[in-house]
Amino acid sequence: MQSIQLYGAYLLSLSAAPPERIHSSTSDTLTSIACQLYALACFDCLSIVTKSVSCFARNTLDSLTAIRKLKEYNVEVYFEKEGIWTFDAKGELLITIMSSLAQEESRSISENVTWGKRKSAADGKVSLAYSSFLGYKKGDDGVMQLVPEEAIIVQQIYSMFKQGMTPHTIAADLTKRDIPTPTGKKKWQPSTVLSILSNEKYKGDALLQKTFTTDFLTKKMKINEGEVPQFYVKNSHEGM
């Protein structure tokens, strides 16, 4: 009997396909995992070895749903750390307990991370996704630092807007000149131009906590409309 191994966030199969990244806290992904594992089971992979219950899923309901679905396909899961086989009579009870503990641990970690982010915001510390933000990079001191060649593009966008060009025509012009977008794409969208024109960071200020995570399991982000405090920091960095 063959088996496959599920370690952390990676599913390692015996097939020729490369490992596929798995985020194991959402129901959609767990359903996807079950389907993938069933597909492997069709190739005589009749057991799954995973490091621990927390590696398999941090959501109790989804974990049990996936395990029961696999049982229907006669696929057994073995959790190395806990020493649990899902075909064992006590297996599901133990998995329920361990999954609940893993879910609470995930909740606790998420709450600590959220607290840290909100404390940083309250202290006026600016953080952003520099890899998709045009014109700035993270300096050695942690403060936003200008990237001259990118800053020129941002200044051109503002200049074109002042001349009466719309976000649509500005986007078309940037695309025509083969200037990559903040995320490295070839085609500019009017919404990208508008987001640059309306971003306070380009004048040296920073509005913190524009969005927040609504649920630690789904990781769903929501625009902050007053649900959590926002902080406006003036002159937090060099503007353009």
**Residue that wins the pLDDT comparison between 93 and 218:** 93
Domain boundaries, given as residue ranges, for the chain: 2-112, 124-233
Q: Residues 124-233: name the CATH superfamily.
A: Putative Large Serine Recombinase; Chain B, Domain 2 (3.90.1750.20)
| The pLDDT of residue 160 is above 70 | yes
Residue with tokens 């990237």: 147
Alpha-carbon gap, residue 73 to 44, rounded angstroms: 11
Q: In this predicted model, what pLDDT tens digit does every residue of 22-74 receive, in sequence order?
A: 334 444 444 445 555 555 555 455 667 777 776 676 567 777 777 777 777 77
Q: What is the pLDDT of residue 162?
A: 96
| The pLDDT of residue 151 is above 90 | yes
CATH of domain 2-112: 3.40.50
Can you say whether the dihedral through the CA atoms of 108, 114, 119, 125 is positive or negative? positive
As a whole number, the mean pLDDT across the chain is 77
Q: What is the pLDDT of residue 70?
A: 77
Q: What is the pLDDT of residue 45?
A: 52
Alpha-carbon gap, residue 40 to 46, rounded angstroms: 8
**Residue that wins the pLDDT comparison between 125 and 174:** 174
